[in-house]
Amino acid sequence: MLLADFLIHLLLVAIMPPLLFGIINRTKALIAGRTGPPLLQTYYDLYRLLRKGTVFSKTTTWVFKAGPIVTLATLLIASLLIPLGNHHPPVSFNGDMILFAYLLALGRFFTTIAALDTGSCFEWMGSVREVSFSCLAEPVVFIVLLSLSRLSGSLSLSGLLTYSSAMLWMTSGAAMIMLVASLFFILLAENCRIPFDDPNTHLELTMIHEVMALDHSGPAYGMIIYGATLKLFILGAFFLHVALPLRISNGYLDWLFFMGSIILLSVVVGLVESCMARFRMTRVPQMLLSACVLSTFAMILVLR
Amino acid sequence: MNFVADQFLAIVLLINIVILGTRRIDIAIRAISIQGIFIGLVPILMHNFSYHLLAMTLLVLAVKAIFIPWLLLRATRKVHFTEDVRPLFGYSGNIIACALTTVLAFAIATHLPLTTAHQGLLIVPVSLATILAGAINLGTRRKAIDQVVGYLLLENGIFLFGLLLTETMPLMVEAGALLDLIAGIFVMGIIINHINREFSSIDTSHMTALREPE
């Protein structure tokens, strides 16, 4: 692969993710008739947090400090595995899809045990919810990966994701519709967006993800926010391969197309958030179960 | 055009899940109306154009996508009910049952002795899955109006199965089936009204009790 593509990949991963949050918030503000925060607000927040000092509670151990670092590190490694648009990722080998899924799981594991380490019952509650919901979300990711792998005949993430194209929609469109539907559920659930979780809620009792980051401060909290945006970026890139697989096969146009489509995806997420209320907590597993069922249907169609 | 038909049929499967999983009747009715549109458009995609086909498509769209949903929505507005009656096995139970029956439908469809022209199509498994989903909805829902939606789901499945014969089936038969459907919905609408007046609730499980509700 070309050095230029490699550098652009790293640059996009490093710089673009916080912009997505800005776009989502701007979309929500515009729909609600407000001016809203500036597009670059997340960058300002990160800069402010990075300059601050950190406070660690005396009851916490090294696990608490390691939590944000490990989570961010796993996400950064995962971002090296995922192809952005029609370009091959910097790292790619057979079976890296398993590594990808487990990197996300490892990041989640460290977020939850860091939260448990504080001994706060709110954080405990958030961890329980996060883990039990991800129990239902993870099979979907695997089933989707399996179906795509079967369609493309490839075992590496870059092979099976860049295989999908407009032609695939013609030949096995039925399966693709279901994959897109289930992946969109997962995209929203994993990134704690409405209707699964409200990123702007102010009540600890109703939080899922935010409650686990309550005790972090300063640069550690900045890492958590950056990690959250990076996760949206990675899963968004994943989703776009299935939902909008247009290949121009001109290197730079492809990069532009990728950036345009992920911005479009953020707008769509913002629109979904503006027109939906959040689900009652008891309904979240039911919706994730539906996503599971959808992806299973897709696999049946693919295997058929 | 078969790939477009396949995508439509996939959407039909998705709508099955929505109907089985939703707890709001207006969503279920709108979903069944959308399903009616997709099902109604499938024959025109599958077969060569003919006026017979066009007439049938228009008739089906008018009845399934507009008239019956309009009737049902009107009924829900007239009969005010807000109680949340859980289905027999809960909403998640319904979704799991839907998944299992769909898998079953796909398994059965590969073993049916179909003509070679129909073997690769999604129509047979999707129609079986929709029929079974309708049966589940009829059997587990306890509100009468939800059961009507289940009945419509069942009918949609049967209609899809009938598509295999569309070219040989006369328009009169289709029209007769649709007329039966409308008559059935009318009768059910009247029954719902009566249940509501009698029990001040449309939970049909009250009807099995011997004593009057206290």
**What is the spatial distance between Cα B5 and Cα B110, in angstroms, rounded to a whole number?**
19
Q: What pLDDT does A26 receive?
A: 94
Q: What pLDDT does A179 receive?
A: 92
The angle formed by the CA atoms of residues B13, B157 and A146, to the nearest 5 degrees, is: 25
- Taking an 8 Å cut-off on Cβ atoms, the answer to whether B3 and A304 are in contact is no
Q: What pLDDT does A86 receive?
A: 83
Nearest chain A Cα to B129, which residue?
A: A297
* Per-residue exposure over A108-132, b if at least 16 CB sit within 10 Å of its own CB, e if not: bbbbbbbbbbbebebbbbbbebbee
Considering only residues B170 and B106, tell me which one the structure prediction assigns the higher pLDDT.
B106
The number of beta carbons lying within 10 Å of the beta carbon of residue A186 is 24
**What is the spatial distance between Cα A94 and Cα A72, in angstroms, rounded to a whole number?**
24
The per-residue pLDDT of chain B, averaged, comes to: 83
Q: Using CB atoms, which residue from B6, B95, B98 is nearest to A286?
A: B95
Q: What pLDDT does B213 receive?
A: 56
Q: Residues of A with CB below 8 A from B160's CB?
A: none
Question: Could you tell me if residue B96 is inside a domain?
Answer: yes
Res A252 pLDDT > 60: yes
DSSP annotation of B122 reads S
Secondary structure of A149-212 in the HEC alphabet?
HHHHCCCCHHHHHHHCCHHHHHHCHHHHHHHHHHHHHHHHHHCCCCCCCCCCCCCHHHCCCHHH
The number of beta carbons lying within 10 Å of the beta carbon of residue A144 is 26
Q: Using CB atoms, which residue from A178, A293, A301 is nearest to B98?
A: A293
Q: What pLDDT does B211 receive?
A: 65
Query: In the structure, what pLDDT confidence band is assigned to residue B212 with cuts at 50, 70 and 90?
Result: low
**pLDDT tens digits along A4-37:** 888 999 999 999 999 999 999 999 999 999 998 9
Q: What pLDDT does B202 receive?
A: 66
Confirm if A143 and A296 have CB atoms less than 8 A apart: yes
DSSP annotation of B204 reads G
Q: Which residue, among A260, A255, A261, A241, has the nearest Cα to A2 in the 3D structure?
A: A255
Q: Which residue, among A64, A68, A65, has the nearest Cα to A114 in the 3D structure?
A: A64
Q: Which two tokens stand for residue A258?
A: 């990728």
Q: Residues of B with CB below 8 A from A285's CB?
A: 92
Question: Could you tell me if residue B13 is inside a domain?
Answer: yes
Query: In the structure, what pLDDT confidence band is assigned to residue A224 with cuts at 50, 70 and 90?
Result: very high
Question: Could you tell me if residue B149 is inside a domain?
Answer: yes
Query: In the structure, what pLDDT confidence band is assigned to residue A166 with cuts at 50, 70 and 90?
Result: confident
Q: Which domain holds residue B162?
A: 2-80+89-200
Q: Which two tokens stand for residue A242?
A: 């299935």
Res A275 pLDDT > 80: yes
- Taking an 8 Å cut-off on Cβ atoms, the answer to whether B10 and A177 are in contact is yes
Q: Which two tokens stand for residue B122?
A: 């999604």
Considering only residues A287 and B83, tell me which one the structure prediction assigns the higher pLDDT.
A287
Question: Could you tell me if residue B109 is inside a domain?
Answer: yes
Global ipTM: 0.73
Q: Which two tokens stand for residue B14?
A: 């998705």
The least confident of A47-51, B18-22, B119-123 is: B119-123
Min Cα distance B45 → chain A (Å) is 14
**pLDDT tens digits along A31-63:** 999 998 999 999 999 999 999 999 888 889 999
**What is the spatial distance between Cα A119 and Cα A249, in angstroms, rounded to a whole number?**
52
Res B115 pLDDT > 90: no
Res A241 pLDDT > 80: yes
Question: Could you tell me if residue B212 is inside a domain?
Answer: no
DSSP annotation of B65 reads I
Min Cα distance B68 → chain A (Å) is 27
Confirm if B43 and B163 have CB atoms less than 8 A apart: yes
Considering only residues A107 and A249, tell me which one the structure prediction assigns the higher pLDDT.
A107
Query: Is the CB of A296 inside 8 Å of chain B's CB atoms?
Result: yes
Give the CA dihedral B90, B92, B97, B100, nearest 10 degrees: -160
Question: Could you tell me if residue B53 is inside a domain?
Answer: yes
Q: Which residue, among A74, A40, A96, A85, has the nearest Cα to A223 in the 3D structure?
A: A74
Q: Which two tokens stand for residue B115?
A: 């003509």
Q: How many domains does one find in chain B? A: 1
- Taking an 8 Å cut-off on Cβ atoms, the answer to whether B14 and A286 are in contact is no
A116-145: average pLDDT: 91
Q: Which two tokens stand for residue A4?
A: 């230029």
Distance, CA of A181 to chain centre: 15
Min Cα distance B212 → chain A (Å) is 34
Confirm if A286 and B21 have CB atoms less than 8 A apart: yes
Q: Using CB atoms, which residue from B6, B21, B99 is nearest to A286?
A: B21
Query: In the structure, what pLDDT confidence band is assigned to residue B131 with cuts at 50, 70 and 90?
Result: very high
Give the CA dihedral A83, A85, A88, A90, nearest 10 degrees: -50
Considering only residues A173 and A63, tell me which one the structure prediction assigns the higher pLDDT.
A63
**pLDDT tens digits along A152-165:** 888 998 888 888 88
Peptide bond into A195 cis (omega under 30): yes
Query: Is the CB of A202 inside 8 Å of chain B's CB atoms?
Result: no
Which pairs from A146-155 meet CB under 8 Å and 24+ separation?
A: A146/A299, A147/A175, A147/A179, A147/A295, A147/A298, A147/A299, A147/A302, A148/A179, A148/A242, A149/A97, A150/A299, A150/A302, A150/A303, A151/A175, A151/A302, A155/A94, A155/A95, A155/A97
The least confident of A42-51, A198-207, A219-228, B4-13 is: A198-207
**What is the spatial distance between Cα A37 and Cα A28, in angstroms, rounded to a whole number?**
10
Q: Residues of B with CB below 8 A from A297's CB?
A: 10, 13, 99, 102
**What is the spatial distance between Cα A300 and Cα A141, in angstroms, rounded to a whole number?**
15
Query: In the structure, what pLDDT confidence band is assigned to residue A283 with cuts at 50, 70 and 90?
Result: confident
Question: Could you tell me if residue B209 is inside a domain?
Answer: no
Considering only residues B187 and A225, tell me which one the structure prediction assigns the higher pLDDT.
A225
**pLDDT tens digits along B31-85:** 999 999 999 888 888 777 788 788 888 988 999 999 999 988 888 887 766 667 7
Query: Is the CB of A168 inside 8 Å of chain B's CB atoms?
Result: no
Confirm if B202 and B192 have CB atoms less than 8 A apart: yes
The least confident of A88-97, B181-190, B195-204 is: B195-204
Q: What pLDDT does B214 receive?
A: 54
Query: In the structure, what pLDDT confidence band is assigned to residue A80 with cuts at 50, 70 and 90?
Result: very high
Confirm if B25 and B143 have CB atoms less than 8 A apart: yes
Min Cα distance B119 → chain A (Å) is 11
Question: Could you tell me if residue B126 is inside a domain?
Answer: yes
